Amino acid sequence: MIETITLSVDAMGGDNAPRAVIHGADLLLKEHNNARFIFHGRQEQIDPLLNEFPALKSASSVRHCETVIAMDEKPSQALRKGRGTSSMWMTIQAVKDGEASVAVSGGNTGALMAMATFCLRPMEGIARPGIAAIWPTLRKDIVVLDMGATIGADAQQLVDYAILGSALARCLFDDESPTVGLLNVGTEEVKGLESIKEAGRILSDASGSGFTYHGFVEGDDIGKGTVDVVVTEGFVGNIALKTAEGTARQVGSYLRTALKSNLMSRIGALFATSALNALRKRMDPRTVNGGVFMGLNGIVIKSHGGTDEVGYKSALNLAYGMARSNLVAKIDETMKRFPIKAAPVAADAESEAKPA
């Protein structure tokens, strides 16, 4: 008998919610009929949408929440307003209570991180959680973190991210010793900030404890797929992510313009339709939508707030995979192999890092 995977979903999170959220869930259910959903939000808006998708309706339950966190609310303000009552909080609470395996929201990133940290608490030995992204490269998909959970990171926090990222890579890529690289301004050991060099020394000594330390990597190594896990702090990681997304859109625009420039180009495009469609799909950011909040006692997936049903389906599919692979247990196993652990920092709603 196939195990049922229950996803807790913030139906009100995102610019196109709740329709894009509900439609995305229906797309996921068509691929994974053992998925079940708990939708949190305003029932009067969710129920009519579920009526449009009978199969999804039979696989779902709705928890009414009147309070919705706005996309521009500060994390501390959102926590005071929505703790225990908002669709975002109750989505996370369902994971804490064991009703669901993973939480998904496309809402305010800072608020979601603050609520997730406050509700689920950081894992023992992890100072601050991070956000990991699945990044397509020339070689294969890789893990990059932190994508903006913490602006600035000391050496031990970078080491934490290496532990978390390698555990995620083990889940995703079925590799017992994924390679880890520290993003730096050069590959030479003398280059970079002291925090990065110190993290490199720690990781070099611990290589083999659930991962293989590659050394420093540069920005172009991300796209090459030089390593399975790229570790950086949130300011740099967030800029790298948005630069890559903008570059993909720029290249796509150049390509469309070139293919329409004259009659011969349009004829050539007709003959290359299948290849162009494959390229378009590969470059579509919706197909890799979803950031994983790493280092908490539970799994939380952050979807892009502005995405459509295809993007939400991708985020839900990532959540489904994380639940099936038992990510939290694999992180815990990796940390037990690792000889050095950070001193945990208590979650404080007023001092949570503000994601970029």
Q: How confident is the model at residue 161 (pLDDT cuts 50, 70, 90)?
A: very high
State yes or no: pLDDT of 177 exceeds 60: yes
Decide: residue 177, CB within 10 A, 0-12 exposed, 13-18 middle, 19+ buried.
middle
- CA–CA dist 35, 107 (Å, integer): 22
Query: What is the location of CATH 3.40.718.10 in the chain?
Result: 132-286
| Architecture label for domain 132-286 | 3-Layer(aba) Sandwich (3.40)
Angle at 131 between CA 130 and CA 135, to 5 degrees: 135
Which residue in 124, 92, 99 sits closest to 9, CA to CA? 92
User: How far is CA 305 from its chain centroid?
Assistant: 12
Question: Across 9-18, 144-153, 239-248, 322-331, which has the greatest mean pLDDT?
Answer: 9-18
Q: Say how far apart CA 171 and CA 222 lie, in whole Å.
A: 20
Question: Per residue in 107-116, pLDDT tens?
Answer: 999 899 999 9
Please write the tens of the pLDDT for every residue from 70-96. Answer: 988 998 999 999 899 999 999 999 999
Residues of the chain within CATH 3.40.50.10950 domain(s) are 1-129+295-356
The topology (CATH level 3) of 1-129+295-356 is Rossmann fold (3.40.50)
Cβ(21)–Cβ(46) under 8 Å? no
CA-to-CA distance for 197 and 199, rounded, in angstroms? 5
- The per-residue pLDDT for 279 is 65
User: Higher pLDDT residue, 8 or 282?
Assistant: 8
β-pair partners for 5: 35
Cα separation, 218 vs 186, whole angstroms? 6
9 exposed, middle or buried (CB, 10 Å; 0-12, 13-18, 19+)? buried
Residues near 14 by Cβ (< 8 Å), separated by ≥ 6?
20, 21, 105, 106, 107, 303, 304, 305, 306, 307, 312
- Alpha carbon distance 64, 315 (integer Å): 22
